[in-house]
Amino acid sequence: MLENKEILESIDVNGEPPTDETAKQYYYMVKAANYVEEESKEAGRKLTYFVQNFGCQMNARDAEKLSGVLKKIGYEEAFDENADFVIYNTCTVRENANLKVYGRLGYLNGVKKKNSHMKIGLCGCMMQEPEVVEKIKKSYRHVDLIFGTHNVFKLAELLVTMYESKRTVIDIWKDTDKIVEDLPMERKYKFKSGTNIMFGCNNFCSYCIVPYVRGRERSRNPKDIIREIEKLVGDGVVEVMLLGQNVNSYGKTLDEPMSFAELLQEVEKIEGLERIRFMTSHPKDLSDELIEVMANSKKICRHLHLPLQSGSSKILKDMNRRYDKEKYLALAKKIRNAIPDISLTTDIIIGFPGETEEDFQDTMDVVRQVEFDNAFTFIYSKRTGTPAAVMENQVPEDVAKDRFNRLLKEVQAIARKRAAVYENTVQEILVEETNEQDPEMVTGRMSNNMLVHFKGGADLIGTLQKVKLKECKGFYYLGEM
């Protein structure tokens, strides 16, 4: 691998761009840095950037990649939209995510009128929808740069095009099999980090837009993953979150296939790494091998996020989830038996087309039987282009809302009960930040992902501490070191 420094030294900006993609992007970073410097001189100050992230952990990781490039070319980070370069990294999994972006774009128009140096960029899942890009071209002409989920690595090159063309630059790819390694990243936390292990999704759950906007499943080479984590650990990271839309099918498309459980065992060997998390698991692909590896591991956290979506076998079939109620229940039981202290969390969609009260009761039944430690509940949102959007029997909003409220009440009551079982035990906590309300306190996480607040100073951030959990406050604990 070429180290960044070596790449930078070998670049001749007056020559042709290199053919190797990583080197090529560094070439454009050098070029972009010149433009930023010029503009900064004109403005008489350092230029600033602000990346606003919407959506999931995948997007959060992409935002770190965007920040990495922007810092490298000379922008300084700002913490609100009064910046010279504002990027919205969008989400489109539910419609309200889209509406939020349009609202903010309207507001940005006014901000831009007051700052002649300001540029606005849009990227992420929403930009992979052609109707969205059409709408922005027509109604939000103050946007300077639009790109998608497949070419985030190209930011430096796109910025150079933007500076040179002085018009809106749009570059959306339909799909890609490209994975570009070794680009700069600016991590939000010093001590923990996400790492992509795969991109895209092949499952086509009938309600979900992700396979259309994130493309086909492709796994990163295990060597690249391990090398990245080793580097992170060398940089002070003690907890890593392996990211993929469906981590349980990791490795199937590699030249030398490898299972997710095998990858986890390799990651476990990394010295200095203390905790391993991963997101998200699809129940249909969760293997016995994985359960065994988790049960025997010292580093894999006691937390499994296992989206249920619905408890009704009929709805699950229409959702194209490829498991039924019984199979999910059996799986949950197997996991709880093998790893008794595991925290099981889930996602549930209410109001999927055709959902009857009886189907809903099946969902409630699974919730009561499994006793999820936490559940993210969503009202079904129609996404144009997905099979479910044209299904008959769309559920009226008031019916869905009523079910949603009943579900939420049940979920919260169970989560409270489950949370309380750790009272008076001593747990290992990774300290994450100074407490927002009380600067004498810090906030950290248990292995099972629950938050704990206790007395302590900022010097503890990033360390593991043994903490006695004194009082459960519903969804978090007050403790004592």
With binding defined as CB under 6 A, does residue 293 bind ligand 5AD?
Answer: no
* Number of residues lying near ligand SF4 (CB under 6 A): 10
Burial class (CB in 10 A: 0-12, 13-18, 19+), 350: buried
Which residue number, 140 or 212, has a Cβ lying nearer to ligand SF4? 212
- The correct pick among 159, 201, 247, 316 for binding ligand SF4 (CB under 6 A) is 201
Distance CA 380, CA 316 (A): 14
Only one residue has tokens 């991590």, namely 187
Q: Which of 266, 324, 347, 410 is in the footprint of ligand 5AD by CB under 6 A?
A: 347
Residue with tokens 């700002």: 78
How many Cβ atoms from other residues are within 10 Å of residue 78's Cβ? Answer: 16
> Taking CB under 6 A as the rule, does residue 299 contact ligand SF4?
no
> What x/- string results for residues 78 through 117 when contact with ligand 5AD is judged by CB under 6 A?
---------------xx-----------------------
Interaction of residue 282 with ligand SF4, rule CB under 6 A = yes
> Which region among 8-16, 96-104, 189-197, 374-382 touches ligand 5AD (by CB under 6 A)?
374-382
Return the DSSP state at 309. B
Residue closest to 61 by CA, chosen among 174, 144, 153: 153
CB contact set of 141 (below 8 Å; sequence gap of 6+): 168
Among 25, 48, 59, 246, binds ligand SF4 (CB under 6 A): 246
Residue 33 contact among ligand SF4, ligand 5AD, none, beta carbon within 5 to 8 Å by kind? none
Residue from 259, 309, 443, 448 touching ligand 5AD (CB under 6 A): that is 309
Among 35, 102, 378, 476, binds ligand 5AD (CB under 6 A): 378
Which x/- pattern, by CB under 6 A, does the window 438-457 give for ligand SF4? Answer: --------------------
Window of 22-30, 58-66, 174-182, 205-213 that interacts with ligand SF4 by CB under 6 A = 205-213
Q: Quick one: tokens of 178?
A: 């490209």
Q: Pick one of 31, 383, 403, 453: the residue that binds ligand 5AD (CB under 6 A).
A: 383
383 sits near ligand SF4 (criterion: CB under 6 A):
no
Report helix, strand or coil for 218. Answer: strand
**Interface with ligand 5AD, residue 335, by CB under 6 A:** no
Between 323 and 477, CB nearer to ligand 5AD: 323
- Position 321 contacts ligand 5AD (CB under 6 A): no
Q: Do the beta carbons of residue 241 and residue 279 sit within 8 Å? A: yes
d(CA 18, CA 42): 30
- Cα dihedral 338, 343, 347, 351 sign: positive
Q: Among 222, 251, 283, 307, which residue sits at the site for ligand 5AD (rule: CB under 6 A)?
A: 307
Is 204 an interacting residue with respect to ligand SF4 (CB under 6 A)? yes
Tokens describing residue 196? 């992509």
Of 82, 81, 266, 188, whose CA–CA distance to 462 is shortest?
A: 188
Phi first, then psi: give them for residue 473, nearest 5 degrees: -105, 40
> Quick one: which of 380, 404, 422, 454 contacts ligand 5AD (CB under 6 A)?
380
* Tokens, residue 366: 């699974």
Q: How far is the CB of 359 from ligand 5AD (least distance, A)?
A: 16
DSSP symbol at 396? P
Q: Residue 16 is which amino acid?
A: E
Residue (275 or 383) nearer to ligand 5AD, CB: 383
Q: Rule CB under 6 A: choose which of 18, 68, 211, 354 binds ligand SF4.
A: 211
Applying CB under 6 A, among 25, 195, 343, 381 the residue interacting with ligand 5AD is: 381
**Three-state SS at 451:** strand
Take residue 185 and report the two structure tokens written for it: 């990243």
Count of positions (residues) in the chain = 481
d(C-alpha 205, C-alpha 383), whole Å:
12
> Based on the number of CB atoms within 10 Å of its own CB, is 308 exposed (0-12), middle (13-18) or buried (19 or more)?
buried
Closest CB to ligand SF4 among residues 264, 319: 319
Query: Which parts of this chain interact with ligand SF4 (CB under 6 A)?
Result: 201, 203-205, 208, 210-211, 245-246, 282
Query: Which parts of this chain interact with ligand 5AD (CB under 6 A)?
Result: 93-94, 207-208, 307, 309, 347, 349, 378, 380-381, 383
